[in-house]
Chains A and B, each alone.
Chain A
Amino acid sequence: MKINAEYKELAWQGLWKNNPGIVQLLGLCPLLAVTSTLTNAIGLGLATLFVLICSNATVSAIRNWVPKEIRIPIFVLIIASFVTCVQLLMNAYTFGLYQSLGIFLPLIVTNCAIIGRAEAYASKNPIKQATFDGLMMGLGFLLILMLLGAVREILGQGTLFDGANLLLGNWASILRIEVFHLDSQFLLAILPPGAFIVMGLFIALKNAIDDRVAAAKPKADNKEISRVRVNFDEK
């Protein structure tokens, strides 16, 4: 039962409370740059999810053999290798998507969410939990990417899943939904400033929901949470 509670807590942290996208605000560069369409957002989200799970599992597996003085370069090596592999695989098997994500794939290396999780969680916990943490953090990130992508695509082009065939193959062209027809695109939503604005609205919405929930049950004990935000805690 105790283990179940631990997994529940990890899921809650990754998906909502400590979401890498809208709470930790990590990986803003890909988050804002790539989310102009839902397809791109899913593509980058899945790539990040995969790298995060793999790097968390690997870092956790080797945590007892890595001296702490050189742990950061080793984490970077591991993450960079996984990202390069993902990039090569995408180039080989989802060529169209690779072209449209372009330079943002290698930037996964610099996504602080990944090295942050490796350092803060995976390097101190067993493989199973670390992998699960990677999955949940990755899902949290993917979810925010998808929401941003969907909102910006609807506002900007009036469509959903435009270009889904790049990600899923030709059959996916039928997924494309024209929500409403626009003669000219709403530029603000597609350009990066639009991403910042939508992102700000999401953060505000999350805070509002949290406040509402807190107000609804004011008696809930205010216990200290040991894991808060980006914890590069000292040793």
Chain B
Amino acid sequence: MVLSIKTAVSRNAKILALFAVVCTAIVGIVHSLTKDQIVFQQQQDLLRNLNSIIVEDSYNNIIYKDCLILPSAALGTVDSQKVYRARNNVQSIAAAITTVAPDGYNGNIELLIAINIDGSVSGVRTLKHQETPGLGDKIEVRKSDWIESFNTQRLASKNDSRWLVKKDGGMFDQFTGATITPRAVVKAVRKTVIYFNQHKDKIFESDSNCENYDSVKEAL
């Protein structure tokens, strides 16, 4: 039987549409089955990061839900950033702020910086980067303890000259063969600490708004 072109085309279109529907349905089902688990994993990951820089026993709120969106202008980043606030009942303990160091050797370095209410750094973690393996990637905590050198440091004044890498006259080590990466990280942490010191009351007083923001973002 020879099909006319018209019937052949419409038959093929129907078959293709059928496959598209079936495949989409399968992906949809898997998505709905794994959705909650994925959100859970992301929260656990965030919580692990937060607890590695803020002492877990020092606060008692659900920290990843106590979250505030910072407009991009606040830290001078391209995207808006988030602040997670640790509280013990009504007492403010510390805030963990995400930020981006735009001037890494290989593009953006995403950081999470926890600062105690007294202005001292509680801890810093690198969330994402593309620095050279073996050189710049010592900013990862599993490669080197360099990132721990921020712990307990304070910024004495806005122009505290110790907050630079040693090569620039400051107190933070650079890496052999890689100065640009630590310089970018120090700069971003310093900026964040300055912002925190100036705005800490507002940071802790504002209502949580991350959830709405996420759902708005998803709806878009």
Which A residues form the contact surface with B (CB < 8 A)? 36, 65-67, 69-70, 73-74, 77-78, 80-81, 84-85, 88-89, 91-93, 95, 99, 156, 184-187, 190-191
The answer on a CB contact under 8 Å between A78 and B30 is: no
The answer on a CB contact under 8 Å between A84 and B38 is: no
Contact of A81 among B23, B42, B133 (CB under 8 A): B23
- Please indicate the chain A residues that have their CB under 8 angstroms from the CB of B79 in the complex: none
The answer on a CB contact under 8 Å between A88 and B15 is: no
The answer on a CB contact under 8 Å between A77 and B133 is: no
The 22 listed contacts between A and B (C-beta, < 8 Å) are: A69-B8, A69-B12, A73-B16, A74-B19, A77-B19, A81-B23, A81-B27, A85-B30, A88-B27, A88-B30, A88-B34, A89-B34, A91-B41, A92-B41, A93-B37, A95-B44, A95-B45, A156-B133, A185-B134, A186-B134, A187-B132, A187-B133
The answer on a CB contact under 8 Å between A95 and B134 is: no
Judged by a CB distance under 8 angstroms, whether B90 is at the interface is no
Contact of A91 among B19, B27, B38, B134 (CB under 8 A): B38
- Please indicate the chain A residues that have their CB under 8 angstroms from the CB of B11 in the complex: 67
Answer whether A36 and B23 are a contact pair too, CB < 8 Å, given A73-B16, A92-B41. no
Cα distance A67–B9 in the bound complex, in angstroms = 11
- List 9 additional contacts besides A77-B19, A187-B132; criterion CB under 8 Å: A67-B11, A69-B12, A88-B27, A91-B34, A95-B45, A156-B134, A187-B133, A190-B133, A190-B134
Cα distance A89–B38 in the bound complex, in angstroms = 9
| Interface of A: prevailing SS | helix
Cα distance A81–B31 in the bound complex, in angstroms = 11
Cα distance A134–B16 in the bound complex, in angstroms = 24
**Closest beta carbon of chain B to A80's beta carbon, Å:** 7
- Please indicate the chain B residues that have their CB under 8 angstroms from the CB of A80 in the complex: 23
The answer on a CB contact under 8 Å between A77 and B41 is: no
Cα distance A191–B131 in the bound complex, in angstroms = 12
Answer whether A70 and B12 are a contact pair too, CB < 8 Å, given A85-B30, A95-B45, A184-B134. yes
Contact of A88 among B24, B38, B42, B135 (CB under 8 A): B38
**Closest beta carbon of chain B to A72's beta carbon, Å:** 11
Answer whether A78 and B23 are a contact pair too, CB < 8 Å, given A67-B11, A70-B12, A92-B41. yes
**Closest beta carbon of chain A to B2's beta carbon, Å:** 14
Cα distance A89–B30 in the bound complex, in angstroms = 8
**Closest beta carbon of chain B to A74's beta carbon, Å:** 5
Cα distance A19–B66 in the bound complex, in angstroms = 53
The answer on a CB contact under 8 Å between A70 and B16 is: yes
Cα distance A23–B12 in the bound complex, in angstroms = 36
Contact of B26 among A74, A85, A99, A191 (CB under 8 A): A85
Report the contact-size class of chain B (Cβ under 8 Å from the partner).
Answer: 20 to 34
**Closest beta carbon of chain A to B87's beta carbon, Å:** 27
Chain B minimum-CB-distance residue to A91: B38
**Closest beta carbon of chain A to B110's beta carbon, Å:** 12
- Please indicate the chain A residues that have their CB under 8 angstroms from the CB of B45 in the complex: 95, 99
Contact with A along B107-150 (1 / 0, CB 8 A): 00000000000000000000000001111000000000000000
The answer on a CB contact under 8 Å between B135 and A187 is: yes
The answer on a CB contact under 8 Å between B134 and A67 is: no
**Closest beta carbon of chain B to A91's beta carbon, Å:** 5
Cα distance A78–B37 in the bound complex, in angstroms = 24
- Please indicate the chain B residues that have their CB under 8 angstroms from the CB of A85 in the complex: 26-27, 30
- Please indicate the chain A residues that have their CB under 8 angstroms from the CB of B44 in the complex: 95
Contact of A67 among B12, B26, B27, B133 (CB under 8 A): B12
- Please indicate the chain A residues that have their CB under 8 angstroms from the CB of B12 in the complex: 67, 69-70
Contact with A along B35-50 (1 / 0, CB 8 A): 0011001101100000
- Please indicate the chain B residues that have their CB under 8 angstroms from the CB of A95 in the complex: 41-42, 44-45
- Please indicate the chain B residues that have their CB under 8 angstroms from the CB of A65 in the complex: 15
